[in-house]
Amino acid sequence: MKHRPLALLGAMLLGTGLVACSSSAEGTGRDDSARTALDVWLMRDSVSDAFQEEFEAGFEKGHPDIDVRIQIQEWEGIGEKVTAALASNDAPDVIEVGNTQVAQYAQSGGLTDFSDKVAELGGDAWLKGLAEPGAWEGRQYGIPYYAANRVVIYRTDLFARAGIDAAAIKTRAQWLAATEKLNGDGVQGIYLPGQNWFALAGFVWDEGGDLATRDGDGWKGGLDSPEALRAMDFYKRLQSLGKGPKDSDESRPLQAEVVAKGEVAQVIAAPGGAKVIVQNNPGLKGKLGFFPIPGKTADAPGAVFTGGSDLVVPVAAAHQEEAYAFIKELTGETWQKKLALAMSYVPNTTVLAGAVASDPGAAAMAVGAANGHATPNTPQWAAVEAKNPVKDYMTAVLIGRDPEDEAAKASRSITTTLNSGS
């Protein structure tokens, strides 16, 4: 995942083709030469054609002196493209970036600081998993745009046959007991690949640990903490209640295809995964439901990795005031509600979670988003993911190696990488 969330989520949710476009003044009698052209980069599957058209029309009606020119960008290679834009004298005015990418761009000094605008933008209610990675060294550079996270997708028919009420599953202990009951007689209680480190991270956060923590001026890997070791023990117990491979992740094989082919009671995925399952097996239409990943206790949902995007403005952007006006409107209540309904995304604030109440998958996602987290907020985390000792650690434990020894090894690797400055 390119951190963005769930970068693959958008493709699963939508699969729509978007066209880069801008509003036209043809036939309106409007003189575009007198208007400010605002160049905006939004990512593939961030908005639908219909939403984009509606927003542009609404924004330009309220800001007749601004001509919004949205260009849809691809996730493949976007990091290099954004880095080059920030270093240029001809940067776009607004850029959508993956929430956990903000730190690496802010470190370069190429982003506008919005710290004095946080209160005006309703920052006290922003989702933590978007707001925290949007900040760097105490300053806010990324403005939360939308969120997405994983939920449990389950077979309603298999749950009913086993006499299990999914709505009653509120704790990890209850979830484990239900999964044990579901497992057997040709049914996998859950399909959980051995290297789903995003799921493990949620369990670590539930236990009060983290993947890495600040250590003076540096960082220290956290997989060898007592909290993280308890989380890995739970993961191992849950993973054993299915036939998920111990040495691969959600993409090898694609877990939605696995669920479509067999009797799998549950899978941890973004809600859009349900559409992929049904596409591969139309016979499962109407037989899939959703619930938030359960928490350690019933008073809060399970912690989840928050994927999604923030909006940033390059320091080199020519139209700072107009860029801020664009961000303020797109991330405000009116358009956040519309975006959530149009795209099945979670709005950027906790107070708008009800906007997706009519969408069962998005509603379950919104519940989990309230306990959303991000990976350690450092530009070097991308280098950790490139090697990903977390995956290697998980496989080692699942095949029977000593958890404490393997956790210490993985933590040392994370510590070295985070403090390398490369």
Kindly state whether residues 155 and 291 are assigned to the same domain: yes
* Residue 126 β-bridge partners: 349
pLDDT for the residue 32: 61
Does residue 389 share a domain with residue 350?
A: no
Strand ranges in 233-369 using DSSP code E only, listed in sequence order: 266-269, 288-291, 304-305, 307-312
The pLDDT, as a whole number, for residue 1 is 38
Domain limit, last residue, from 373, 392, 410: 373
* 61 shares a domain with 131: yes
Alpha carbons 187 and 164: distance in angstroms, whole number: 14
Q: What pLDDT, on the 0 to 100 scale, is given for residue 382?
A: 87
Q: Name 308's bridge partners.
A: 147
Query: 364 and 262, same structural domain?
Result: no
Whether the pLDDT of residue 23 is over 50: the answer is no
133-187 per-position pLDDT tens digit: 999 999 999 999 999 999 999 999 999 999 999 999 999 999 999 999 999 999 9
Q: Using CA atoms, how far apart are residues 416 and 395, in angstroms rounded to an integer?
A: 21
Residue 102 and residue 29 in one domain? yes
pLDDT at residue 34, rounded to an integer: 83
Three-state secondary structure string covering 251-275? ECCEHHHHHHHCCECEEEECCCHHH
Contact 349, 336 (CB under 8 A): yes
Q: How many domains does the chain have?
A: 2
What letter does residue 371 receive in the DSSP assignment? T
Asked if 294 contacts 304 with a C-beta cutoff of 8 angstroms, the reply is no
Please indicate, yes or no, whether residues 132 and 196 belong to a single structural domain of this protein: no
Say if residue 2's pLDDT is above 50.
no
Residue 30 confidence (pLDDT): 53
Q: Is residue 138 part of a domain?
A: yes
Q: CA-to-CA distance for 25 and 205, rounded, in angstroms?
A: 51
238 located within any domain? yes
How many alpha carbons lie under 13 Å from residue 175 in its C-beta half-sphere?
27
Residue 107 belongs to a domain:
yes
Segments forming the whole domain that contains residue 118:
7-149+306-373
pLDDT digit string, tens, across residues 308-348: 999 999 999 999 999 999 999 999 999 999 999 999 899 99
240 and 347 belong to one structural domain: no
pLDDT band for position 421 (cuts 50, 70, 90): low
**Single residue among 373, 390, 408 that ends a domain in this structure:** 373
Q: Tell me how far apart the alpha carbons of residues 108 and 82 are, in angstroms, rounded to a whole number.
A: 12
- Residue 348 class from Cβ within 10 Å (0-12 exposed, 13-18 middle, 19+ buried)? buried
Q: Are residues 239 and 171 in the same domain?
A: yes
Residue 337 pLDDT: 95
Instruction: Name the 3-class secondary structure at 45.
Output: coil
- Helices of type H across 87-245: 102-107, 128-131, 156-161, 172-182, 197-206, 226-239
CA torsion 356-44-330-137 (nearest 10°) is 100
Residue 187 sits in a domain of what CATH number?
3.40.190.10
- Three-state DSSP at 349 gives strand
pLDDT band at 246, cuts 50/70/90? very high
Same domain membership, residue 186 and residue 98: no
- Checking if the pLDDT of 5 tops 60, the result is no
- Does residue 2 lie within any of the structural domains? no
Q: Report the pLDDT value the prediction gives residue 353, as an integer from 0 to 100.
A: 87
* 20, 83: one domain: yes
Instruction: Say whether pLDDT at 244 is over 60.
Output: yes
pLDDT above 90: percentage of residues in the chain:
87
Do the domain assignments include residue 262? Answer: yes
Same domain, 204 and 280: yes
Q: Is position 1 within any domain?
A: no
Residue 211: closest CA among 194, 232, 193, 190: 232
Looking at the structure, do residues 43 and 97 belong to the same domain, yes or no?
yes
Q: Give the integer Cα–Cα distance in Å for 302 and 299.
A: 10
Contacts (Cβ under 8 Å, ≥6 apart) of 386: none
Residue type, 123: G
Residue range 61-68: mean pLDDT, rounded = 97
H or E element, residue 366: helix 360-369
